[in-house]
Structure 1
Amino acid sequence: MNLFRKIFGSTSDEDKNEEEGKFAPQINIPVDEKFTTNFKKNGGKFLYCEDLNEIREQFLNILEENDWFESEVLCYETKLFSLLDENKLVYKNVQNPKFFFTICEDLIADDGSILFSSKQFKQYKANEIPCDMVVFATTSQLVGNKSDGLRNIKKRYDKEYPSNITTIKYFEKTKEEDFLHYGSSHKNLYLLLLEDL
């Protein structure tokens, strides 16, 4: 900032940006916007829906895009069975599922990841479930960071806490493996996000 600006002061946005620096964190970004940006940056496919009819429509589009009609699906959530029945998808006694259809614990805005537990994955680890996933979530599940997500799990389940708590953050295979991706499994993931606030 030059001498005249120091003496007389300036309130222009240009001066404020100059003082903050281009690498300063953006603190006032809404949680939903932050999640969407980070989720897409990680390679996730995001489908915003205003009501259940849009959820049905978008789910049908996903099935059509991947040619998953009349195939086997890994799904443990009874609330989702009606959507599978509507589309003639097999979810009982599956041997070779094409994709995993599930809900989640929370959506983490800080890094664009999705928080899961044994309530969704049962006894499986993230790398043991199908690579293709469709996740149904609501906007009320958006949280700022992993600590908020863990706090919600503690409130939600009272005393019988789930095990196998994990996040999935990478939604496309990386071109080069590095130590940051070690032990993580990438998933081809579609997020059906229902507005419920």
Structure 2
Amino acid sequence: MGVFDKLFGGGKKVPKETLETRGEHAPDLKIPVDEKFTIYFKKNGGKFIYCENFTEVSEALKSIISENDWQQRLFYTLDPRLKERFVTENIGFTDNRNESEIFFTTCEHLIAHNGSVLVCSNQIKGKKLDELPSNLIIFATTSQLVESISEALKTIKEKYGKNIPDNITTLKHFQPTTENKDDFLSYGSASKNVYLLLMEDY
């Protein structure tokens, strides 16, 4: 069974023709939120790896490191929870941007309707997107998938109450394409080599 089948249970796939002929402003696809996110995330240029458990996350991370020859590279992270979670993975971490071209982060939510990744000061502190390294590895869980940005913001408000984090923004358009090159929302954000490690947690 392939990764796509593992994630979506081998259900009915959206025909390729449907995806290719949909206009930018056509009604949204009536498909499950997880499948929709994957379609748009890949369309944005992201590399998606589904993992059933943390063992598979560890294996996928090792493959990414090997594929890019990052064995001797430090991982730049601003989220101390990642250092604790991956302490046994033989990864060197740094909080100095000048010491790494690999940004390892969590996120707040994964937005299905456009395949973007919502982050905030919990992950990037006060940094702007174009200040982040060109290589990103995002660790997220399936419970962080939501349909829209408005749903994500509502969830953040419920979760943090009066202590809502600042610098809320979305990572999108990881690689320039003919479809997004003129999108004003992508201005000021450099192209990123983005990997998403999505772990099942339901």
Distance of 1:59 and 1:84 partners within structure 2: 13
Question: Relative to structure 1, is the Cα distance of residues 94 and 185 closer, same or farther in structure 2, using a 3 angstrom cutoff?
Answer: closer
Deviation at 1:80, TM superposition (A): 1.9
Select the residue among 177, 182, 185 that pairs with 1:178: 182
Residues paired across the two proteins, number: 177
Aligned AA for 2:67?
E
Correspondence 1:47-126 to 2 at 5 A: 47-82=49-84, 83=86, 86-91=89-94, 93=96, 95-126=98-129
- Which protein is bigger by CA-based radius of gyration? 1
Contact 2:75 2:91 in 1 (8 A): no
- 2:156 is the alignment partner of 1:147: no
Deviation at 1:48, TM superposition (A): 0.0
Distance of 1:98 and 1:184 partners within structure 2: 15
Aligned AA for 1:130?
P
Q: Deviations over 1:100-155 (max 9, x none)?
A: 00100000000000000011001111110101000000000000010011111111
| Alignment partner, residue 157 of structure 1 | 160
Distance of 1:57 and 1:79 partners within structure 2: 19
Unaligned runs of 5+ in 2: 1-21
| Alignment partner, residue 200 of structure 2 | 195
Distance of 1:164 and 1:45 partners within structure 2: 25
Distance of 2:87 and 2:95 partners within structure 1: 11
Distance of 1:161 and 1:147 partners within structure 2: 15
Distance of 2:189 and 2:98 partners within structure 1: 24
Aligned AA for 2:182?
D
Distance of 2:101 and 2:135 partners within structure 1: 7
**Range with greater deviation from structure 2 (85-94 or 27-36):** 85-94
Distance of 1:177 and 1:89 partners within structure 2: 35
| Alignment partner, residue 4 of structure 2 | none
Distance of 1:151 and 1:127 partners within structure 2: 26
Distance of 2:88 and 2:141 partners within structure 1: 21
Question: Relative to structure 1, is the Cα distance of residues 25 and 101 closer, same or farther in structure 2, using a 3 angstrom cutoff?
Answer: same
Aligned AA for 2:133?
P
Question: Relative to structure 1, is the Cα distance of residues 156 and 186 closer, same or farther in structure 2, using a 3 angstrom cutoff?
Answer: farther
Per the normalisation by structure 1, the TM-score is 0.81
Distance of 1:88 and 1:194 partners within structure 2: 19
Q: Deviations over 1:47-97 (max 9, x none)?
A: 000000000000000101111112122112233215255224232556321
Contact 1:114 1:167 in 2 (8 A): yes
